[in-house]
Amino acid sequence: MSHLPDLDHPDDDPYLWLEEIEGDRAVEWVDAESAKTLAAFSGTGFEADRAALLAIMDSPEKLPYVSRRGDHLYNYWIDAAQPKGLWRRTTFASFRSGTPEWQTVLDLDALAEAEGEDWIWAGPSTLPGTHDIAMIALSVGGGDATVLREFDMESRTFIPDGFTLPEAKTQASWYDRDTLIVASALGEGMATGSGYARTVRVWRRGTDFVQAKIVFEVPEDHLACGMEIIPTESGKPLVLYGDVIDFFHTDDHLGTVDGPVTPLDLPSDATKRMTETALAIKPRTDWTVEGTTHPSDAVLVIDYARFAAGERDFQCVFTPGERLSISHFYWLRDDALMVCALDDMRPVHTIWRRDGDRWTPEKVAGLPEIGTAYVWPFDTDREESDGTLLANIEDPLTPASLLHLQPDEQAAPTLLRRAPVHFDTRGLVVSRHEAISTDGERIPYIQVGPQGASGDAPVHLTGYGGFGVPMLPGYNAGIGKTWLERGGVSVTANIRGGGEFGTRWHEAGRLAGKRLSHDDFAAVAADLVERGITVPGRIAAEGGSNGGHLIANMLTRYPDRFGALFCTIPLIDMRRYTKLLAGASWMAEYGDPDKPEDWEYLSQMSAYHTARSDADYPPTLIATARKDDRVHPGHARKMVAKLKAMGHGAWLYEPPAGGHGYGKDNAERATFTALGYAFLRDRIGWT
């Protein structure tokens, strides 16, 4: 007898046919369910929200983010007239004028129409130094797999007999004008069990890629292989080859175009950043070397020649604290290391400059103390960098500003652009609070809403809690326009599993601890009620990807704390997730369901198995994308099928494209989001 999947029958799954992404029966069912959802929630509120969101996304005043390649600034621009987008360029002087003269390099809408293909931009890689040729990555429908084609930057056309690779999950970097270093899953036996590249090839111009020499290979049960080109003064780059064992462990080898030569004698869980002359690392766990113990998340630097000679007297340039954590770090030049930190979630940026064998700090001035501040090199290629930076600063009530920083001169930042205001902030305030989770941990959350909001305020609550990714208080124009401007409250929960407070915060919400991250989110919902802001039936929660896993567990574990749930591009079936698309790559985050000791805890947060017919669940919209080649759409499909079979109020929405996101273009993203918010408002009784 066939059962609905549960803890007693975890492998008895009558909905496996819904895992056939393009199967006729599956697509017919999915399209019918999506049509029902659209018909039910595409009322006036939905249409108005979709129009408002699309206007925000297509705004001609939005920030044109740029990067410098040689003499030009490049930008990829999408608007109503160019829904697929334009890759364009201008000069720095023109950009600073406020009314830049743009030159179109590639019109993707025209290309898609001419070739009859649903091309989605996936980014360029130009030849360092000259930037006169590029490898351009194009996705079909928005998935992670891409087609690579060589492009002439002067004639602005694809090179007919140039480097070209068919669709696959591929990373390609220029070694020189006639040589690419390529890690690709293309070809028989070339993919790991996670679907990523397991070999690195050296591909010479005019030769068949399949015949290209394999210079590095990793086992099939590892996550992937990777490589990074390291420029040198001699003009013959070094290559850093990475055996990516899992999400948090990589064995690195320094080598040449002919393959790896020297293993880096460093912990596999350390993040490494290299130049020809210097090495910076961040160990994930405490590391003792030559009698010195460096704590988890410290950032350590050393001259590479001395490291290669066996010296291990690293200089520590960042020491973490309980709520002081490293965000990321990177080389600006061989003599300048940028360290980006979070001090109780406030951004702090410091440049460490080489002075002989030692490094001295220089705080990046002119950045705000609240909100978010993302800082990155102005120049795409480090060897061409003049040390200047770009910064994006914003907070929940202040739209983004794009700044140009010249830290060498310590000059005041130059404001290049300011994004438009998209919603009325009058009467709105930002406040920070803390909820107490099940084990006593303090869980911060950011609340945005009307001064004195109380009683039964409609609350939009979101969180993520995975892979060490922090959720910081930025400007969300969509929530502002469709929720805050109408008198609602927006809340972002900084739950464990994220990176707000470094590795310790992530580790606490990883593997069996993932259950704690779910407890954290539920604790925030409860705290909003305890503070008198709202009542459970007025809390609408949203989360995507790992956040979708979170929302599915709110449905089954804490249904009484929410009025409605919007669960997007989710991971739900934890019994089979490792067998679906890239799922095997996340075992270091969640665990291996084929191991009894892991399934013991995974089963308790596999919402597909714990959902019960006798429970009282809040109405739930589960949305995914058919072209998502990262998180399989079968998770969403099967969960809705089971919930409906048990008589619960579950809805499905699945557009036919979009990849691991809310759509392949602005119109699709606006529809996806507006539908979700229309559903949430309707189900919590806020019309």
pLDDT of residue 366: 76
Check if the beta carbon of residue 460 is closer than 8 Å to that of residue 491: yes
pLDDT digits (tens, 9 = 90+) for 45-73: 899 999 999 999 999 999 999 999 999 99
Q: What is the pLDDT of residue 384?
A: 83
Length of the chain: 687
Residue 2: pLDDT band with limits 50, 70, 90:
low
d(CA 240, CA 234): 17
Does the pLDDT of residue 657 top 90, yes or no?
Answer: no
Query: In which band, very low, low, confident or very high, does the pLDDT at 371 lie, cut at 50, 70 and 90?
Result: confident
Query: Which domains can be identified in the chain, with CATH numbers?
Result: 16-55+422-683 (3.40.50.1820)
Between CA 199 and CA 224 the distance in angstroms is: 8
Confidence at residue 357, expressed as pLDDT on a 0 to 100 scale = 84
With 0-12 CB in 10 A as exposed, 13-18 as middle and 19+ as buried, what is 380?
A: middle
Name the strands in the sheet holding 224-230, side by side, starting at the edge strand that comes first in the sequence.
224-230, 238-246, 249-256, 259-263
pLDDT digits (tens, 9 = 90+) for 507-520: 999 999 999 999 99
What are 396-453's pLDDT values in tens digits?
A: 999 999 999 988 766 788 999 999 999 999 999 999 999 999 999 999 999 999 998 8
pLDDT surpasses 80 at 549: yes
What is the structure's pLDDT at 108?
Answer: 98
Phi, psi of 610 (to 5 degrees): -90, -15
- pLDDT of residue 1 exceeding 80: no
23: which 2 tokens?
């199967």
**Confidence (pLDDT) at 410:** 66
Residue 41 pLDDT > 50, yes or no? Answer: yes
Q: Per residue, what are the HEC states of 358-413?
A: EEEEEECCCCCCCCEEEEEECECCHHHCCCCEEEEEEECCEEEEEEEECCCCCCCC
Instruction: Give the CA angle between residues 342, 347, 349 to the nearest 5°.
Output: 95
- Asked if 485 contacts 681 with a C-beta cutoff of 8 angstroms, the reply is no
Please determine, for residue 464, whether its predicted confidence score (pLDDT) is greater than 70.
yes
Closest CA to 136 of 125, 144, 145: 125
Q: Known catalytic residues? A: 545, 660
Task: Categorize the per-residue pLDDT at 5 as very low, low, confident or very high, splitting at 50, 70 and 90.
Answer: very high
pLDDT at site 104: 98
Question: In b/e form, how buried is each residue of 394-411, taking b as 16+ CB within 10 angstroms?
Answer: bbbbbbbbbbbbebeeee
State the pairing for strand pair 346-355/336-343.
antiparallel
Report CA 417 to chain centroid distance, whole Å: 25
How many CB atoms are closer than 10 A to CB 595? 11
pLDDT at 33 over 80: yes
The mean of the pLDDT values for the chain is 96
Percent pLDDT > 90 in the chain is 93
Q: How far apart, in whole angstroms, are the C-alpha atoms of residue 340 and residue 326?
A: 6
| Higher-pLDDT residue of 230, 356 | 230
- Percent residues over pLDDT 70 in the chain: 99
pLDDT at 409: 64
Residue 407 confidence (pLDDT) = 80
Rounded to whole angstroms, the Cα distance separating 234 from 230 reads 11
Give the integer Cα–Cα distance in Å for 480 and 476. Answer: 6
Query: Looking at residues 204-229, what average pLDDT do you find?
Result: 97
